[in-house]
Amino acid sequence: MSNASNSLETYDGIVRTGRIMTGAFLVGLIAFSLVVVFLGTKGEEENVPLDDSTPFISYFAVLVASTAVVASMIVPRVILSSWRTATAPSEIPPENSDEAEKFFGPKFLTARVLVPCAMFEGATFLTLVALLLEGQAWLWGIVAALLILIASRFPDLSKLRHFESNQRQLMALEP
């Protein structure tokens, strides 16, 4: 016996699934952050100074994090734009219907939660690896910022309803 509110066919189910996934992203990254803290970073043992080499991995991690932030604004819009273009006006279900929840819910979950969180997660893992290998303490700021960005994607029903409203307005504007 399945419960409709746990399904990906209702807004409650979409929000619940999105919360679980966002929470999983955060828990995994926080756990790996703790591993980095407990393992320590290069140069902390016996006050051994870090070598004078350029921290290329750290710089690359910053580049990847910056790219992820910019891409998280562009890629979901491209995904949604292509979806709207491929959707005929006759396919759009009426407002406040079960069909609308089935129609808009998975698109919200994909474009507004999963895609951006996955980008931020990859950048965060790379930054943590750079921190572990090169010991650049300023990377903790990048990690914290990326974790905040993931947490900001935590879905709720009002965000989902706002998403549906925006998509309907945009679809009405497109020929």
| Residues 88-141: tens digit of each pLDDT | 888 888 888 888 888 888 999 999 999 999 999 999 999 999 999 998 999 999
CB atoms within 10 A of CB 126: 22
pTM for the model stands at: 0.84
Task: Confirm if 18 and 157 have CB atoms less than 8 A apart.
Answer: no
CB contact burial 2-21 (16+ within 10 A = b; e otherwise): eeeeebebbbbbbbbbbeeb
Which stretches within the chain are classed as H helix? Answer: 11-39, 56-86, 98-108, 115-134, 139-152, 157-173
Task: Confirm if 43 and 135 have CB atoms less than 8 A apart.
Answer: yes
Could you tell me what percent of the chain has a pLDDT over 90? 59
Least confident of 2-11, 15-24, 63-72: 2-11
